Every structure is written in C-alpha cells, then in structure tokens.
Structure 1
Amino acid sequence: MFPLTPKSSQFFHPLLLSLLLLLSAAAAAPTTSSLPNLLKSQGLPGGIFPDNVKSYDLDRNGRLEVHLQGPCMAKFDTRVFFDTVVRANLSYGGLVGLEGLTQEELFLWLPVKGIQVNDPSSGLILFDIGLAHKQLSLSLFEVPPVCKPQGLLQNFGRKMGFEVAR
C-alpha cells in the first residue's frame, strides 16, 4: 500500500470521484444491446422493426427513434412501408404516436399510429391505423421481417392509393 501524503491524496480524490461517476453512468445506461431486446424488455415482440435497422435512440422521456438503412417494404399479414426514420413514444406494452410506418389495407396505404400489446397471454398485438384497430397474432412479430427496397421509391408515391393487378 502506498502511504497517503497530502500530494497523493489530491490525486486520489479526483480519481475516486471519476471512478464513481463512471460506475454510476454505467449503471444508468440501458442494459439492452439491440432493438429487439429493448422491445422485449418493454413487453413488445422483438420483430416489430425490420432487419435493416442501422441504429436507434431512446431518450429519457421514452421517445424512440429508429434509423433504417433506407425506406423499405416488408410484410406482416399485409405489406408495410417503413420510412428511413421511424419515431414513436415507447412505454411498457406500446408504441404510441408512430411516425414513418404505413400499412396496406384494401388497396389503401394507411399510417400506423400505434402498436400495443394489452395482454401478452392473449397472443394478440393491436395496430391502430386511425380508422380502425387491427388485431394480429404476436407470432408474426417474433423475428424482424426482411425489408426490401424493390424499386419502391419511384412507384410508391404514384401508387399510394391503388395498385394495378396483373
């Protein structure tokens, strides 16, 4: 052991303070390492967001911002379109105030305003598409869906309402 001298105690005190600050910051950091883990820790299935997530940010108020590699199309029970950035307020069991996610319903593209799991034992997840609520099986969201660009950027705007059947 080193004897504490007036000079060494001046060095020791700031070092100890720095170590305590570092430990408290590590304890306050979220323990989830991936977006699916974060969603699961909040009572949601891990496969709500697609496989091309670059990064995500969650602020202390619960505002979640998910950054994708680019806009893309995926499929749950119907087709869904993800913008490059999807935002929502994350709380236990739900994503509220969703922005950047639209779902095809009867040839119309409707914005998904919220996603909620009220009772996990029911096996259902609820999608709020504004005009209605749609219940889907939780099993559809176990794994992140494959999301493909498929040249949709050039056609998506023109075909927002209707799609030509071939």
Structure 2
Amino acid sequence: MASLNVKLLFLHFFIFYCFTFTIAASSSTNGPTVYQVFPKFGLPTGLLPNSVKSYSLSPDGEFVIEMEYPCFIRFEYLVYYETKITGKLKYGSISDLKGIQVQRFLLWFDVDVIRVDLPLSDSIYFQIGMINKRLEINQFKTVHTCTRKELASSIQPPNPKGDIEMLITE
C-alpha cells in the first residue's frame, strides 16, 4: 500500500512538472505572446517594452521574462528593464517583481508590485518599497520601443546592490 502511495505521489509530481514545462515552452514559441497574456489578467500591454525575447508562465502565476538586452523607456519616469524579469501574475496585479527599476531624483528604486483598480479605472499603481505611486494608465496601453542607452547620458544604470526602500516624493 505504501509503495502505491509513493508511485501515485511520483506520478502527480511528474504530471505537474510536464504541465508546467509545456506551458513554459508553448508561451515562448507557439502560444500567446506576453503582450496577449497581460490583458487577460487585466493589465495593459505596454508594461513591457518591445524587446521581450521569451517568457514562461506557470499555473500558479509565477513568470520569467527574458529580454533581448537591458534597456530603458521614458514614461512619466525613466524605467530600466533588466535582461531577466520575474514575478507573480494575478488578475489585476504583478507581485514579487524583480528586474524593473524606476529613477527618481537620480536614484534608482526597485518596483515591487504593479496593480490596477478593480473594476478597471484610468489609474495604475506602482509600489516601490513602502510607497505607492499612482500614474495614468494611458501611457502603458501601447508597447514602447526600448533603448539600450539612457535618454540622458549622465545617468548611470541602476546598481541592484544599492537598493533603497523608500521613494523620495516631491
């Protein structure tokens, strides 16, 4: 009886592993693009730049996005995208986010959470440390071109080892 339980447990993990691997592989090749997946979760397509190389999405919402190169986009703030972005996707939010930073007053801050109002409104919220910043969602509705160099040559890319937990506000 114990060996039957062990075999069933092994079979369960094997099927789960194969299912997760299939979703990850199809998301990068034949499945929908990440730009098609985000709206299904109530998020705008323009949260990511046009330089996404591949992505994987597991059944529990955890994802890994591979970028072609690290790059910058100027929204209301300058945003830096690393070559690997990870997080957890739920309807209306991305949590446990790693790989996206925003510049404020010459300092770089990690974006930890992105969320929208439910029901949807004209606002999107970015959590940086303990600060929530509300922005107009319109600037994230289209996919933007990502540049390899900063828009201002005097600004250096973020140093992830120097994280600051609080965002200085105006």
The normalised TM-score by structure 2 is 0.70
Whole-Å separation in 1 of the counterparts to 2:158 and 2:63: 26
Question: Partner residue of 1:156?
Answer: 157
Question: Partner residue of 1:84?
Answer: 83
Question: Partner residue of 1:128?
Answer: 127
Q: Secondary structure at the match of 1:140?
A: helix
- The answer to whether the 8 A contact 1:32-1:38 is kept is no
Larger of the two Rg values belongs to structure = 1
Whole-Å separation in 2 of the counterparts to 1:157 and 1:36: 25
Unaligned runs of 5+ in 2: 1-21, 164-170
| 1:53 is the counterpart of 2:52 | yes
Question: Partner residue of 2:9?
Answer: none
- Alpha carbons of 1:67 and 1:132: their partners in 2 closer, same or farther (altered >3 Å)? same
Question: Partner residue of 2:41?
Answer: 42
The letter of the residue matching 2:59 is R
Deviation per residue, 1:110-157 (Å, 9 max, x gap): 0000100123542100000113110011101111121111278x9425
Question: Partner residue of 2:65?
Answer: 66
- The answer to whether the 8 A contact 1:80-1:102 is kept is yes
Aligned Cα RMSD in Å?
Answer: 2.7
Whole-Å separation in 1 of the counterparts to 2:42 and 2:82: 24
| 1:147 is the counterpart of 2:141 | no
User: What percentage of aligned pairs have identical amino acids?
Assistant: 27
The letter of the residue matching 1:84 is T
Question: Partner residue of 1:137?
Answer: 136
Question: Partner residue of 1:108?
Answer: 107
Question: Partner residue of 2:116?
Answer: 117
Whole-Å separation in 2 of the counterparts to 1:110 and 1:47: 20
Deviation per residue, 1:13-70 (Å, 9 max, x gap): xxxxxxxxxxxx99xx789611111000001011101110011100111101111001
Unaligned runs of 5+ in 1: 1-24, 162-166
- Alpha carbons of 1:105 and 1:131: their partners in 2 closer, same or farther (altered >3 Å)? farther
Whole-Å separation in 1 of the counterparts to 2:135 and 2:149: 25
The normalised TM-score by structure 1 is 0.71
- Alpha carbons of 1:129 and 1:157: their partners in 2 closer, same or farther (altered >3 Å)? closer
- Alpha carbons of 1:157 and 1:87: their partners in 2 closer, same or farther (altered >3 Å)? closer
- Alpha carbons of 1:108 and 1:91: their partners in 2 closer, same or farther (altered >3 Å)? same
- The answer to whether the 8 A contact 1:73-1:80 is kept is yes
Whole-Å separation in 2 of the counterparts to 1:115 and 1:132: 12
- The answer to whether the 8 A contact 1:76-1:145 is kept is no
Question: Partner residue of 1:10?
Answer: none
